[in-house]
Amino acid sequence: MGMKPGKGREDAKLEGLVRSETWIIFWGMRIARVFCLGLLVVPAWATAPQDEPVVKVVEKVRPAVVNIYTERIVEQQVVDPIDAYMNQFFGGGMARGNRILQTPVRNLGSGLIIRPDGYIVTNQHVASRADKLKIRVTLANGKDYEAKLLRDDDLQDLALIKVESTEPLPYLSLDKLSPNLLGQTVLVLGNPVGYESSVSAGILSAKDRTLTIGDLTMDGLLQTDAAINPGNSGGPLVDSEGDLVGLSSAKMSVAQNLPVESIGFAIPAERVKRFVEDAVAIVEGKKSPPPERSAAVVLKEKFGLELKDVTPEESVQAGYGGRQGLLVLNVQKGSPAEAAAIQKGMLVVGLGSVPCRSLEELPRSVRQLKGGEDVRVSILGATKQGNFIALRSGAVVLKAR
């Protein structure tokens, strides 16, 4: 069958038009896609740095964050080696006397102004109580003040200090606190390793963490991956609205002999607020301070042990040859101590793995004892046998009542 002369040219034109329309659609879709992506990116570009939420929070909170510098003088008695020689050959009359060596110990930390009249909350380990303690506070504007320690709580690791100023100071109110939601953005402000007014960011990683530092165990702590370093302690952890999340307290740097990053801890804001309210009320005379629960009181309550410090002379007289420890004055009837056969006159030389030298030096963990907890108590007993004194040592496990 024959084809009409113009048919081939018409088909070629039609095919060319189809191809042209296909390319137009293809490139049109690509251009539209790029345009749409551009629209998605524009809002981020449209936010000026000064309008970013984090910048606003820093502007709000930073003036209330202070740098804390403490210095205490530690006195140590140093025995003159010449005195030892004189005592050995000529008696004590030739001795010139021991020297007192004074060594300054300096610490860095951070704090948060919580009232315009100069009240500042920080960590107890930053503003620790000590003889001849000096506390200097520097504000974000560079002004320097001398601060006074008013109240502290070593079990909560919180302290209240105060500076005197002729004008109201910038502060962060504790009336509104952060809801502390897992995953929320948090900012850490403070004085890490002396770098004043530093800011780091992260999230709230976890709640209700337990941390043991030395002889102190703290529970109910917050965990964050925001950078917390030495010097940040006592500074605020705030949320994206500038409300207090907690107070920076510690960081974990090693676990199971391996380096650890991005694990920091903070004391929850609710606990900080309760401490501040009680401490201010006590300082201003609106509330009586709670009775001091010393380690001696706790040991009597939990184990039925009445103990006293022993001098070297008393230790010798009791047959312990000058050994240090705590002398058992009395054992309550029906107590865990009586059940373990601890008797009056024995010498308690250790609690757990900690040696006992004096009641004042007992670990803080003693005051944290709860009913049902077990404690290993190391003891010495002295028994006179003729002209000799026999010493016997042992250890018993007491369950706190």
List residues with catalytic annotation.
125, 157, 233
SS (H, E, C) the chain: CCCCCCHHHHHHHHHHHHHHHHHHHHHHHHHHHHHHHHHHHHHHHHCCHHHCHHHHHHHHHHHHEEEEEEEEEEEEEECCHHHHHHHHHHCHHHCCCCEEEEEEEEEEEEEEECCCCCEEEECCCCCCCCCCEEEEEECCCCCEEEEEEEEEECCCCEEEEEECCCCCCCCCCCCCECCCCCCCEEEEEECHHHCCCEEEEEEEEEEEEEEEECCEEEEEEEEECCCCCCCCCCCEEECCCCCEEEEEEEECCEECCEECCCCEEEEEHHHHHHHHHHHHHHHCCCCCCCCCCCHHHHHHHHHCEEEEECCHHHHHHCCCCCCCCEEEEEECCCCHHHHCCCCCCCEEEEECCEECCCCCCCCHHHHHCCCCCEEEEEEEEEEEECCEEEEEEEEEEEECC
Yes or no: say if 191 and 235 are a contact pair by the CB < 8 Å rule: yes
Tokens 């706790």, residue located: 298
Yes or no: say if 9 and 17 are a contact pair by the CB < 8 Å rule: no
Alpha-carbon distance 146 to 138, whole Å? 9
Token representation of residue 11: 């088909």
Alpha-carbon distance 235 to 186, whole Å? 13
| Closest C-alpha among 153, 149, 163 to residue 115 | 163
- How many Å is the Cα radius of gyration of the chain? 34
* CA 164 from centroid of its chain's CA atoms: 26
| Closest C-alpha among 295, 318, 297, 334 to residue 379 | 318
